[in-house]
Amino acid sequence: AQSVTQLDSQVPVFEEAPVELRCNYSSSVSVYLFWYVQYPNQGLQLLLKYLSGSTLVKGINGFEAEFNKSQTSFHLRKPSVHISDTAEYFCAVYSSASKIIFGSGTRLSIRP
């Protein structure tokens, strides 16, 4: 069965500092991986996705993620965060059973 683990429930960083949100997945088959962002009282918005090809995926709002098959990871990074990046971030994997499975989320808080 496919699953996603986000080890960090909260990540506090200072404004303009770099950030990495960690995600590890388990799957015995080819994977499709996603990062979603959820702003307060909002639905989920797709940041980026990895389906195949280049392991470095660029998304919206300056975020990028790198697919690492040997480490089964798909960490999200941004070189310089802004106050507006304060949100909950969810890593997800597409299950071959036609469903997207989400991690438990990482709350990113930006300090001025």
Partner 1 sequence: GAGVSQSPRYKVAKRGQDVALRCDPISGHVSLFWYQQALGQGPEFLTYFQNEAQLDKSGLPSDRFFAERPEGSVSTLKIQRTQQEDSAVYLCASSSTHPSGSDTEAFFGQGTRLTVV
Q: Which residues in 47-76 contact partner 1 (CB under 8 A)?
A: 49, 51
Distances in Å between the alpha carbon of 30 and those of 50, 94, 96? Answer: 11, 10, 9
Q: Draw the binding track, 90-109, toward partner 1 (x: CB under 8 A; -: no contact).
A: x-x-x--xxxxxxxxx----
Q: How far is the CB of 31 from partner 1 (least distance, A)?
A: 10
Backbone angles phi, psi at 106, to 5 degrees: -130, 125
Contact at 8 Å (CB) between 91 and 11? no
Q: Return the DSSP state at 28.
A: S
What would you report as the CA-atom Rg of the chain, rounded to the nearest whole angstrom? 13
Stretch that binds partner 1, among 15-23, 45-53, 61-69, 73-81 (CB under 8 A): 45-53
Interface residue with partner 1, options 41, 54, 70, 112 (CB under 8 A): 41
Residues found near partner 1 in the complex (CB under 8 A): 6, 32, 36, 41-46, 49, 51, 90, 92, 94, 97-105
